[in-house]
């Protein structure tokens, strides 16, 4: 009689593993919430997901992540940190300090970058910031300037004899692009408008320069410098109109609008106060609108560059006191059909 079979529970994972000839997996030890598994910090296990950044510093003190000298959380950052520390010796090493100060004194035009290159060529491993600190501690300018004024200082010193020129494009309601040539005097902020055209050729630009010479008259000979960009419309004949009176042509660098900042600001003012608020129909409409705005710009609009004065205006020198504000009458004059308003004392 066969023995009675007893019911067996489900085969656990250990028995199944033993039958397959493999070791039974051990259960992971219980960990308290928030604990970080030992191993390389910041490196994820082969689970397909990385631990959240908050879990790496959950057991640290509240201000530990902000404490100075805290080791990086990843191996790559730690290696970079160690390499940077090895390549940046202390600035008070006498040998490195003497070796960095000597070429700086013998070559006053060299900056800390050039000196850092010379030290690297000699086999000295040092960071550029360390060379800068050494020169600064020795009382040497780490980045010496070339002799002579800067571009901004030159423009301020020679503003009375500088004229800037640039092109301004305007799109009409019929999607036609028109071009306007604008001139501005740096010293007085007086604006001069050229003609309007859809095809600004070199000959057309030369004619606008001649028209400016006729409108300025004797004041055209006071122009010492002309600031312009390197556009193909400014030909040698255009430069010759100004060079005939002894003016020098200053060409701005490529993609450097700050070198012609005064004229760029004029173009921005024309767009903000006029062209972005008026629908232009054609060339005749654009000429009429610009002519009216030019009169406002030169005779009634104060400018920050000349201490809030008006280019062509004459200030009477009298001032209104706070007690006399009620007795004075201020007259408002609408310009461009009320788009801009001018204010002046009533006669």
Instruction: Write out pLDDT tens, residues 7-59.
Output: 444 454 444 444 455 455 555 555 554 444 544 444 444 445 555 544 444 44
320 pLDDT tier (thresholds 50, 70, 90): low
* Eight-state DSSP code of residue 27: P
Region 284-310: mean pLDDT is 93
Strands (DSSP E) contained in the chain are: 162-171, 177-185, 191-197, 225-228, 248-251, 330-335, 340-345
In which band, very low, low, confident or very high, does the pLDDT at 166 lie, cut at 50, 70 and 90? very high
Structure token pair of residue 60: 């640290």
What percentage of the chain reaches a pLDDT higher than 70? 69
Q: Which pLDDT value is given to residue 15?
A: 46
| Model confidence, pTM | 0.60
14-23, 217-226, 239-248, 293-302: which range is least confident on average?
14-23
pLDDT at 85: 56
- For residue 164, pLDDT over 50 is answered with yes
Task: For residue 150, give the 3-state DSSP assignment.
Answer: coil
Average pLDDT over residues 308-317: 74
Instruction: Return the minimum-mean-pLDDT range out of 135-139, 251-255, 281-285.
Output: 135-139
Q: How far is CA 331 from the centre of its chain?
A: 42
Q: Which of 323, 99, 69, 291 is nearest to 194 (CA)?
A: 291
Predicted confidence at residue 83, as pLDDT, reads 64
If we measure between CA atoms, which residue out of 189, 192, 172, 173 comes closest to residue 181?
192
Q: Supply the pLDDT for residue 298.
A: 95
CA gap 269, 275 in Å, rounded? 9
The pLDDT, as a whole number, for residue 4 is 47
Per the model's pLDDT, the better-predicted residue between 79 and 139 turns out to be 139
Q: What value does the mean pLDDT take over residues 225-236?
A: 95
CA distance 180 to 169: 6
Average pLDDT, the chain: 79
For residue 133, what are the contacts with CB-CB under 8 A and spacing of at least 6? 91
| Ranges 29-38, 99-108, 277-286: which has the least confidence | 29-38
Which of 131-135, 140-144, 294-298, 300-304 is most confident? Answer: 294-298
Check whether 203 has a pLDDT greater than 50: yes
């Amino acid at each position: 009689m066969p023995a009675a079979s007893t019911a067996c529970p489900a085969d656990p994972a250990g028995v199944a593993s033993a039958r397959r000839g493999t070791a039974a997996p051990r259960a992971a030890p219980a960990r308290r919430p928030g604990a970080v598994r030992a191993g390389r910090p910041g490196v994820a296990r082969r689970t397909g997901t990385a631990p959240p950044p908050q879990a790496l510093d959950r057991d640290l003190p509240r201000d530990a992540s902000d404490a100075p000298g805290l080791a990086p959380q990843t191996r790559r950052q730690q290696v970079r940190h160690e390499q940077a520390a090895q390549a940046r010796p202390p600035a008070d090493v006498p040998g490195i300090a003497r070796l960095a100060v000597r070429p700086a004194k013998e070559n006053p035009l060299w900056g800390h970058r050039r000196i850092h290159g010379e030290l690297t060529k000699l086999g000295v491993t040092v960071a550029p910031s360390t060379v800068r600190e050494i020169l600064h501690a020795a009382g040497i300018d780490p980045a010496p300037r070339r002799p002579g004024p800067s571009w901004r200082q030159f423009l301020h010193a020679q503003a009375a004899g500088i004229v800037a020129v640039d092109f301004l494009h305007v799109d009409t309601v019929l999607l036609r692009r028109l071009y306007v040539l604008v001139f501005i005097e740096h010293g007085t902020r007086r604006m001069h408008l050229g003609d309007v055209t859809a095809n600004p050729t070199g000959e057309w630009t030369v004619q606008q320069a001649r028209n400016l010479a006729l409108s300025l008259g004797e004041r055209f000979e006071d122009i010492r410098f002309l600031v312009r960009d390197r556009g193909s419309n400014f030909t040698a004949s255009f430069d010759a109109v100004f060079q005939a009176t002894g003016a020098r042509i200053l060409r701005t660098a490529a993609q450097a609008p700050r070198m012609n900042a005064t004229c760029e600001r004029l173009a921005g003012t024309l767009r903000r106060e006029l062209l972005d608020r008026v629908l232009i129909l054609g060339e005749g409409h654009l000429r009429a609108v610009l002519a009216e705005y030019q009169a406002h710009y030169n005779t009634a609009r104060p400018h920050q560059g000349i201490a809030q004065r008006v280019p062509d205006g004459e200030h009477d020198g009298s001032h209104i006191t706070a007690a006399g504000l009620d007795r004075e009458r201020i007259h408002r004059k609408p310009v461009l059909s009320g788009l801009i308003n001018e204010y002046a004392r009533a006669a």
